[in-house]
Structure 1
Amino acid sequence: MGFAELPAELQIEILSYLERPDLKAARAVSRSFRDNTSPSLFKSTVACPRYQALGAMQKISLHSVYQIYVKTIIFDGSVYDGDLANNEQRYLIQADECAEINTGFRWEKHTRYKRYQQLFREQEDMRTGGVLFAEISRALEWMVNVSSLVYSPGPRNIPIERKTMKDILPRGIGGARGMGVESYDSFIKSNQHGIHYVIGAIYASQYTGIHEFRVETVHSGHENRGTEFTIFVFDFPDPMHLEAGRFFFRQLHKLKLNMSLQLAGTARNTAINPPPILGGPPGFQHANPIHQINFAPGAGQAFSAAQLVNFASLLREAKNLRELSFHLAHWRPSANLMYGHLISPNQAIFPHLGLSGTWTKLRSLSLGGIYGTEKDFVSFIRRHKDTLKEVEFKYCSLTSGLWASVVDEILENTSIFPFTLNKVNETIIGDAEFHTLVAEEQDRWQYVGKLSLNAVGLRYFVS
């Protein structure tokens, strides 16, 4: 039996394994191939404050067939930087760091800068003028099968944008250097608040079908710039933002959150290679230490733990969670460097993240980069022992107690399997603090292990 003779359902399943370029090529083979590649080709659409990308989403949402195939809205969080758009010299200096665009005559570079500037202005007009909010609200009226929202640090360019963007600085390069309170507040609104318009549109539409929210990580290397999802996303200008967030989180069954606690815009941008952090994952890129941030005097007064309070409130609102993967980016071997700019480093951040709550349907848990006490982790396991099936702790740090006690709790009082520890540590090693140890010693005191089954099906821990 030839492929063309297979049932349509089977063809759709097989074709779903193809990459997008191959799917587009297959559409040209025959009418049936065109129809059977459509579910995979239009299963997701990109939303962002860019006219060409938003126009493409609008066309899909208005198409009588394609609109029903969309399951995922991907919000491209990468943005054009206002500081670069308003200062040609800074733009050109930054562009010289990118090998793929640092060629050409001066007039060519100026033309590229003007194009970047224009795209920034369009971005801000769409964001502040309500275009992004209105278009997403309208699209949700037609794309009735959307069930997940993805935050992508980007940049995610759709094919029609390639010519426009091929020789300008990628979105997400730039930063908040030397800013005062007012300037930094404006930067945060442009850099971090874009996702507010998506969630606001979901709330305004009272759309209850989105059950999964996934936040992707920023990858290192020149191919992946982008705008990292930080705690400043939860900086809400007014109570309606919090109410919209509660509505959105209330519908979630799956939450995969990769979030940075660093001050937004202060990480070294990816045009320059940052040094590896002591004890961090291989190849992991980390933000600058807080004391190296070059803000203008008084800017530090703008930062508080209010964003933590808002986030914790939303996480506790997600009562229907079945799967929770929550990883803090840029793990550091010192609580002070990790979150000392938000709360006292003498406190564990675990309860401040809303993790003292209870989710009665939770089956899968993965935590990463989180400082807590033995009691915090053990209590969480005990509250969820009747539902939890699999657990992972990665680059987590105990400010008091022992990981051995956490392992014993899982082994003796639950039926959890699988269970994994990946590079976890205790902050006090004998008479020394973990962060004062040299790299080799830190590595030796980071624990790795997992549960295995013996011949009769009994669980045991292997380190």
Structure 2
Amino acid sequence: MAPTDLPAFPLWLESVGRYLMAAGPDPTEWIQSVHALVRSYDFGIHHVIRAIHKTSYSGVREFHVLADDGLDGEPGVSFTMTAFNSLSVQQHRAAAYLFRGLSKLELNFSSCLIAHDETVFSLHHHSGERRQQLAQLAALLKGAKSLTELGLHFSDRPGLLDDIAVFTMFMYQHELEDDPPRCLLTWIGFDTTWPKLRSLTLTGAFTVEDTLVAFIKRHAATLHQVKFNYCCLMVGTWANFVDEAVSRPSIHAFTLNGVHEYATPGEEENITRMEKSTRAELLYRGAIEIDAEGHRYFKSTSTRSVYVTRNDSGSL
């Protein structure tokens, strides 16, 4: 079956893996045609952004790229990191113009395309291209100083949420091989400060404890809501991050949903090599609550306490 015979984009994505298995030992040409198609869809967003810039319209305060399940159950177009690949001067200028005026930004990146990236199939490792994409996104985010709400989601399919942090780690494995390893959040500009930021939601990202704790400290004066869905800590423990959040009364709502650590004391394999059923037992869930005496604490809603790893490893 030729790529042109496939069902309408993006419904065929779920069968990509099966098709590759039958495509022979070197399906490189087919994969390249797929990525060319993906890029053509991703860059459509820049036509919208450039139109806003060309008219000098400065009234856009919210920008949402929704998950590709679309409205009313109708499938939409997947949005991937390739939207930030090799931006022209005009495209970057237009995007920067839009981002500077935003107060709310939500980006849903397609987990399906991340999961079926060339890196996963071990065909080509375009580390330079991927870093360029991250750098472009970082530059835009760093310039968005008016943001009050930020949501970045590296998953658009609920059925893959348990695995999504593993998928993103596969996609950016070159960045993890740096010395010292750099987390996804660092690559996309989370070392900056958004002076008005009140709400942060992340899904499917991998990071390190120091990055998160530093982020909370820098935004202590403004940050009120924090939610992490299915994120992975490469270094450190979620317990230390939780304690930092609990100590900040300005953070009214703090939720962890299905987060986990890369390595677990007592486990021979890291999270990427475990069976899905085993990984499920290591996920943390919970939220900050206030007891009858007015004391803040983290209430775990998972069978595994967020403090288990820290206690088992003896870290402080």
Does the residue aligned with 1:381 lie in a helix, a strand or coil? helix
Using the size of structure 2 for normalisation, the TM-score is 0.76
Q: Does the 8 Å CA contact 2:234/2:261 hold for their aligned counterparts?
A: yes
| Residues in 2 aligned to 1:437 and 1:246: alpha-carbon distance in whole angstroms | 41
Judged with a 3 Å threshold, the aligned counterparts in structure 2 of structure 1 residues 352 and 237 are, in CA distance, closer, same or farther, namely: closer
The reply to whether residue 172 of structure 1 matches residue 1 of structure 2 is no
Alpha-carbon distance, 1:183 to partner: 5.1
Structure 1 segments (4+ residues) deviating >6 Å = none
| Residues in 1 aligned to 2:169 and 2:133: alpha-carbon distance in whole angstroms | 18
Deviates more, 1:402-411 or 1:433-442: 433-442
Cross-structure match for 2:56: 206
Q: Which whole-Å deviations, capped at 9, do the CAs of 1:7-36 have from their partners, x for residues lacking one?
A: xxxxxxxxxxxxxxxxxxxxxxxxxxxxxx
The reply to whether residue 436 of structure 1 matches residue 273 of structure 2 is yes
Q: Which whole-Å deviations, capped at 9, do the CAs of 1:367-405 have from their partners, x for residues lacking one?
A: 111111100110100000111111111111111111110
State percent identity of aligned pairs.
32
Q: Which whole-Å deviations, capped at 9, do the CAs of 1:69-98 have from their partners, x for residues lacking one?
A: xxxxxxxxxxxxx952xxxxx2xxx45xxx
Q: Does the 8 Å CA contact 2:31/2:118 hold for their aligned counterparts?
A: no
Of 339, 353, 359, which residue of structure 1 is paired with 2:172?
339
Alpha-carbon distance, 1:341 to partner: 6.2
Amino acid at match of 2:105: L
| Residues in 2 aligned to 1:303 and 1:212: alpha-carbon distance in whole angstroms | 28
Does the residue aligned with 1:428 lie in a helix, a strand or coil? coil
Judged with a 3 Å threshold, the aligned counterparts in structure 2 of structure 1 residues 224 and 231 are, in CA distance, closer, same or farther, namely: same
Amino acid at match of 2:215: F
Cross-structure match for 1:193: 43
Using the size of structure 1 for normalisation, the TM-score is 0.54
Cross-structure match for 2:286: 449
Amino acid at match of 1:251: G
Of 74, 77, 80, which residue of structure 2 is paired with 1:230?
80
Amino acid at match of 2:259: V
Judged with a 3 Å threshold, the aligned counterparts in structure 2 of structure 1 residues 438 and 294 are, in CA distance, closer, same or farther, namely: closer
Q: Does the 8 Å CA contact 1:397/1:427 hold for their aligned counterparts?
A: yes
Cross-structure match for 1:12: none
Does the residue aligned with 1:324 lie in a helix, a strand or coil? strand
Cross-structure match for 2:149: 323
Alpha-carbon distance, 1:332 to partner: 3.6
Judged with a 3 Å threshold, the aligned counterparts in structure 2 of structure 1 residues 206 and 259 are, in CA distance, closer, same or farther, namely: same
The equivalences for 1:52-67 within 5 A come to: none
Of 230, 233, 247, which residue of structure 2 is paired with 1:412?
247
Does the residue aligned with 2:287 lie in a helix, a strand or coil? strand
Cross-structure match for 1:9: none
Judged with a 3 Å threshold, the aligned counterparts in structure 2 of structure 1 residues 178 and 214 are, in CA distance, closer, same or farther, namely: same
Q: How well do the aligned residues superpose, as a CA RMSD in angstroms? A: 3.1
Q: Does the 8 Å CA contact 2:142/2:192 hold for their aligned counterparts?
A: yes
Q: Which whole-Å deviations, capped at 9, do the CAs of 1:269-308 have from their partners, x for residues lacking one?
A: xxxxxxxxxxxxxxxxx7336456497xx79588432111
Does the residue aligned with 2:247 lie in a helix, a strand or coil? helix
| Residues in 2 aligned to 1:299 and 1:441: alpha-carbon distance in whole angstroms | 29
Amino acid at match of 2:115: A
The equivalences for 1:218-257 within 5 A come to: 218-219=68-69, 223-257=73-107
Does the residue aligned with 2:286 lie in a helix, a strand or coil? strand
| Residues in 1 aligned to 2:115 and 2:74: alpha-carbon distance in whole angstroms | 16
Amino acid at match of 1:404: A
The equivalences for 1:348-427 within 5 A come to: 348-427=183-262
Does the residue aligned with 1:304 lie in a helix, a strand or coil? helix
Does the residue aligned with 1:326 lie in a helix, a strand or coil? strand
The equivalences for 1:143-162 within 5 A come to: none
Q: Does the 8 Å CA contact 1:203/1:244 hold for their aligned counterparts?
A: yes
Amino acid at match of 1:179: E
Alpha-carbon distance, 1:225 to partner: 3.0
Q: Does the 8 Å CA contact 2:39/2:82 hold for their aligned counterparts?
A: no
Judged with a 3 Å threshold, the aligned counterparts in structure 2 of structure 1 residues 354 and 183 are, in CA distance, closer, same or farther, namely: same
Of 275, 298, 303, which residue of structure 2 is paired with 1:461?
298
Of 300, 305, 324, which residue of structure 1 is paired with 2:131?
305
Amino acid at match of 1:459: R
Q: Runs of 5+ in structure 1 lacking a partner?
A: 1-81, 85-89, 96-168, 268-285
Amino acid at match of 1:421: L
| Residues in 2 aligned to 1:299 and 1:394: alpha-carbon distance in whole angstroms | 28
Q: Give the aligned length.
A: 275
Does the residue aligned with 1:452 lie in a helix, a strand or coil? strand
Q: Does the 8 Å CA contact 1:332/1:338 hold for their aligned counterparts?
A: no
Amino acid at match of 2:279: Q
